[in-house]
Structure 1
Amino acid sequence: MKQAILLHNPGAGDEDHLKSDLVECIENEGYTCVYFSVKKGDRWVHQLDQADFAIVAGGDGTVRGVVKELVKRNALDKKIPVTILPMGTANNLSIALGIDSNLNHSSHIKSWNNSKRQRFDVGVIKNAETTDFFLEGAGYGVFPHLIQKMIAVDKSKVKNAKDELKLALEVLHDIILSAQSEKFWIKADDQIYEGNCILLEVMNIQSIGPNLILSPEAATDDGVFNVVYVDEEQRADFADYIKKRIDQQDVTFNYKSFEAKELTIDCESAYMHIDDELVLPLKNIAVFEVRENVLEFLVPTSS
């Protein structure tokens, strides 16, 4: 019988009910299960070696919080595969792994007996002062501004995840119209790119933010980054694209992009983001590297 560790980010008021519901569903499928709320300390970290796999019940930020502990483990530690019960707003990581966030948790749990292991590369970003990692993407320009704006924006009319995604697109549209373009210089493997942009993203998966697909060709185990940027000449078209997304039109945008395994980036942007976290200005040039096969996720066999 496989031992699962359930790491849950509970919503206000639903912890006790959902906890018992999730544990019961998991145990009904033949697993033993120990439960931890990730909002109540890090005692779960010390239980990882007792588990055959970890279950993250939450959104992209919760997955990142769990993975932050997993990437600290050395080569001699037990490698713990992770599966996701998507309960966030955007669920970009679940989308990248072929885990349908529209299904109920019972359907996900029933599928685990037929799951497969999917390798997942991790992006590492370093400068002279610090080292960090990312799962989704890291970048400069309008997305750091969006993260900053969404912290303070009025969400009183937001009733569900769909409303919040629409609100984020509306805020992003306004930012695109007024954002200052920023000078960038990139050494990508043996190529040099430079110019001015309003968006510059180093993508590890297909989408970031409010489910914006910036790199549809990205794969979790391809060993490369997809670098995506929007320059000043594309500003009006990009704003129009976002407006059509708000209106729920099925549209695409022709981002400028290239692939690279290693990057050195110097950008004038005052802020950057790493996944969904806003980062203070970097004082030094940033170096990006792909670390292959760091993680394994359990995903549906049909993905």
Structure 2
Amino acid sequence: MKQVILLHNPNAGEEDHFKADLTKAIEKEGYRCTYFSIKEDEQWKDQFYEADFAVVAGGDGTVRKVVKELVRRETVNTRITMALLPMGTANNLSKALSLDKETSFENHVKAWKYNKRRRFDIGTLTYDDRSDFFLEGIGYGIFPTLIQTMEKVDVSHLDTTEEHLQLALEKLHQIVLTAEAYHYTIYADKRKYEGRYLLLEVMNIPSIGPNLMLAPAAQIDDGYLDLVTITEKERDAFALHIKKIIDQKKTSFDFQTLRAKKIKIQSINKNIHIDDKYVSTSNGFLTIEIHEHLLDFLK
């Protein structure tokens, strides 16, 4: 009988109900299940590698918290398989794995027995003599501003994930209209590029933020990163693209993208984001690389 460790990021008032229902569903499929609330209990870190695989029930931030522990212990060359139960707002990672949030958790659990796995690459970066990793993407310009903006917005009146995403898109539209463009020097593998951009994103998966598709061709297991740029001249067209998404109208945008394994970026703009985290660097210089197949996901 396989051992599962269930790592859950509970919303207020839902933990007991979820714990009972999901544990029952997992055990019904023949697994032994140990539950941890990732918000309140750090003991899961000690038992992480005793399980056959880890189940992460939450959003993209919860997945990142779990993977952070995995990356921290990578020096011992230990890898664990993960299964996701998408319960966050954007769920960009689950979308990249083709997991449907609307599917019941019982059906997600039943699918694990087929043991279909997806390899997943992880991006790493160094800046200011520090190192970090990313699952979704890192970048300059519009998205660091959006993260700062949303941290200040009162969302207590919003009831659904759709309302949260809609508000984020509306704020994003406002930012696009007024954002400052910066000059960037980019070394992508052995190629050099320069330009002024409103947005510069290094993507590991197709979408970011409020489910905004920036790199439709990005693959999670191909050993490449997709660098996406939007110039100052494209401001109005990109703003219109966002507005049509808000209004639920058909739209497309011709994103300028290049693929590389190693990317270096230099800019006077020192504000970046790493997945959903805002970071201010001291010199605006990043070195970014892709590391192949550091994770396995059940799907």
Query: 2:188 — aligned with what?
Result: 188
Query: 1:17 — aligned with what?
Result: 17
Contact 1:117 1:297 in 2 (8 A): yes
DSSP-derived class of the 1:158 partner: coil
State the 1:284 CA deviation: 5.0
DSSP-derived class of the 1:45 partner: helix
Q: Answer with 73-82 or 165-174: which moved more.
A: 73-82
| 1:237 and 2:237 are equivalent in the alignment | yes
Query: 1:52 — aligned with what?
Result: 52
Query: 1:273 — aligned with what?
Result: 273
State the 1:128 CA deviation: 4.0
Query: 1:139 — aligned with what?
Result: 139
List aligned pairs for 1:74-89, cutoff 5 A: 74=74, 76-89=76-89
Distance across 2 between alignment mates of 1:253 and 1:44: 43
Distance across 2 between alignment mates of 1:156 and 1:33: 34
Contact 2:7 2:36 in 1 (8 A): yes
State the 1:120 CA deviation: 0.7
Aligned letter for 1:256?
Answer: Q
Q: What percentage of residue pairs aligned between the two structures are identical?
A: 50
State the 1:76 CA deviation: 4.4
Q: What do residues 130-165 of structure 1 show as CA deviations (whole Å, max 9, x unaligned)?
A: 000000000000000000000111324311000110
Q: What do residues 94-144 of structure 1 show as CA deviations (whole Å, max 9, x unaligned)?
A: 000111111121111111111312111100000242000000000000000
Distance across 2 between alignment mates of 1:115 and 1:166: 35
Contact 1:271 1:282 in 2 (8 A): no
Q: What do residues 252-291 of structure 1 show as CA deviations (whole Å, max 9, x unaligned)?
A: 1111110010011012223100000111234252100111
DSSP-derived class of the 1:90 partner: coil
DSSP-derived class of the 1:71 partner: helix
Distance across 1 between alignment mates of 2:207 and 2:98: 13
Query: 2:173 — aligned with what?
Result: 173
Distance across 1 between alignment mates of 2:164 and 2:282: 29
DSSP-derived class of the 2:72 partner: coil
State the 1:75 CA deviation: 5.8
Distance across 1 between alignment mates of 2:163 and 2:247: 13
Query: 1:97 — aligned with what?
Result: 97
Point out 4+ residue stretches in structure 1 off by more than 3 angstroms: 74-78
Query: 1:64 — aligned with what?
Result: 64
Query: 2:207 — aligned with what?
Result: 207
DSSP-derived class of the 2:54 partner: strand
Distance across 1 between alignment mates of 2:106 and 2:256: 41
Distance across 2 between alignment mates of 1:82 and 1:282: 35
Contact 2:223 2:290 in 1 (8 A): yes
Distance across 2 between alignment mates of 1:175 and 1:217: 25
Query: 1:155 — aligned with what?
Result: 155
Aligned letter for 2:298?
Answer: L
Contact 2:270 2:283 in 1 (8 A): no
Q: What number of residue pairs does the alignment pair up?
A: 299
RMSD of aligned residue pairs (Cα, Å) = 1.2
Q: Taking structure 1 as the reference length, what is the TM-score of the superposition?
A: 0.96
Query: 1:260 — aligned with what?
Result: 260
DSSP-derived class of the 2:205 partner: coil
Q: Taking structure 2 as the reference length, what is the TM-score of the superposition?
A: 0.97
Alignment gaps of 5+ in structure 1: none
